[in-house]
Amino acid sequence: MSEATPPTPSLPEKPKSKTGWIVGIGIAVIAIVVAVVLVVVNLSAPASSGAEKRVSVKIGTTEQSAPYWPILKKAAAKEGIDITVVGFRDYTQANPALADKQIDLNLFQHLQFLANYDVSANATLVPIASTQVVPLPLYSKKYTSVEQIPQGAKIAIPNDATNQARALLVLQKAGLLKLKDGGNTLATPADIVASDSKVSVIPVDAAQTAPALDSADGAIVNNNFALTAGIDPKSALFQDDPKSDTAEPYINAFVAREADKDNKTYLKIAELYHTTAVTDAVLAESKNTAVIVDRPQSDLIAILDKLKTTIAAAK
């Protein structure tokens, strides 16, 4: 019988290395530290480091189809300002809408019109920036010169208080009528000295002055309504001088609520209006009859306050 082979002794198990789990823990700790740092950095970063917040501004006007609006809107959009143009049919609607916070700004009126509104409505709307002065012309489909207009002719004029007074002053300057004591920015048809006047007037809504040319002998038509009606400004028989000192009451302006007169967004929009691209479009639309005006806000408010004082004293 053969002798049994003794079993081969087994080797002891190799001890497991602790290096792997130590490295794993180290990596995890580093990842946590990095994550915490990133959170802290994000929390401490200024809000402006992200996308800028856009601002929406509603501007009321009676000239919503004017070609400068798309240019102004595009320029404002680049500054983070989204302009919505809100159109109104006539001059009587945009100021109440602004006062009632239905819109943020309006751009359609001159300072005399604004002063009359503020006094009559006991409101405190204010000009924040000037834009232009536009002459107020006399047109006719029947005659080609002031001299041709006959005695007894009837001239349509805007019936709102401020444009009506200005229209009467234009007709007086043209030699077609005479006003008591020379008239002023508050003149009404009652101030016409009939015995010394060649024409009589027909007050109508400002938007109806252009259509009135079909029946009246002539009409005083605001520039925006004349352009809408396709009237060539060069065909005007007469107009006032937009560069004269007496034109100050008729400076057009961006208008805001008093609490917003220093609003940086609104002032930025007014600044963009005075860029070359916008003013070129304004002048082109007016057939170069308009005069761009850039007066300090303080000047505009001083003119407005003076006009309001005169209006209040006359009541």
In Å, how far are 31, 40, 233 from 44, measured between CA atoms? 20, 6, 60
CB 270 within 8 A of CB 254: yes
pLDDT at 8 over 70: no
204, exposed or middle or buried, with CB in 10 Å at 0-12, 13-18, 19+? middle
DSSP code for 99: H
Segment 297-302 shows an average pLDDT of 97
SS (H, E, C) 255-281: EEEHHHCCCHHHHHHHHHHCCHHHHHH
Which pLDDT score is estimated for 4? 38
Please give the order of strands across the beta sheet that includes 81-87: 81-87, 55-61, 105-110, 251-257, 125-133, 291-292
152: left (phi over 0), alpha (psi -120 to 50) or beta: left
Angle (nearest 5°) at CA 247 between 205 and 175: 70
- How distant, in Å, are the alpha carbons of 35, 163, 192, 222 from that of 184? 75, 12, 12, 19
Q: Give the span between the Cα atoms of 76 and 298, in whole angstroms.
A: 24
Determine the pLDDT at residue 162. Answer: 81
pTM for this prediction: 0.73
What confidence tier does 52 reach under pLDDT thresholds 50, 70, 90? Answer: low
Q: Which residues, in sequence order, are CB contacts of 56 under 8 Å at separation 6+?
A: 81, 82, 83, 84
Per DSSP bridges, beta strands 125-133 and 291-292 are: antiparallel
- Residue 289's pLDDT is 86
Residue 244's pLDDT band, with cuts at 50, 70 and 90, is confident
Secondary element (H or E) of residue 84: strand 81-87
DSSP β-bridge partners for residue 179: 192
Q: From CA 189, how far away is CA 165, in angstroms rounded?
A: 8
Which pLDDT belongs to residue 164?
94
The residue to which tokens 């963009």 are assigned: 272
The 10s digit of each residue's pLDDT in 189-227 is 999 999 999 999 999 999 999 999 999 999 999 988 998
Cβ-contact 91, 206 below 8 angstroms: yes
Which residue has 């929009």 as its token pair?
A: 269
Tell me, what's the pLDDT at 62? 92
Q: Residue 46: is its pLDDT beyond 80?
A: no
Compute the average pLDDT of residues 236-254: 91
φ/ψ of residue 243, rounded to 5: -95, -5
Residue 254: which of 109, 143, 80, 72 has the closest Cα? 109
Query: Residue 230: left (phi > 0), alpha (psi -120 to 50), or beta?
Result: left
Query: Is 80 exceeded by the pLDDT of residue 14?
Result: no
Say which DSSP state 186 is in: T
Please provide the average confidence, as pLDDT, over all residues in the chain: 87
Query: What span, in angstroms and rounded, lies between the C-alpha atoms of 252 and 270?
Result: 12
User: What integer pLDDT is reported at residue 88 of this predicted model?
Assistant: 96
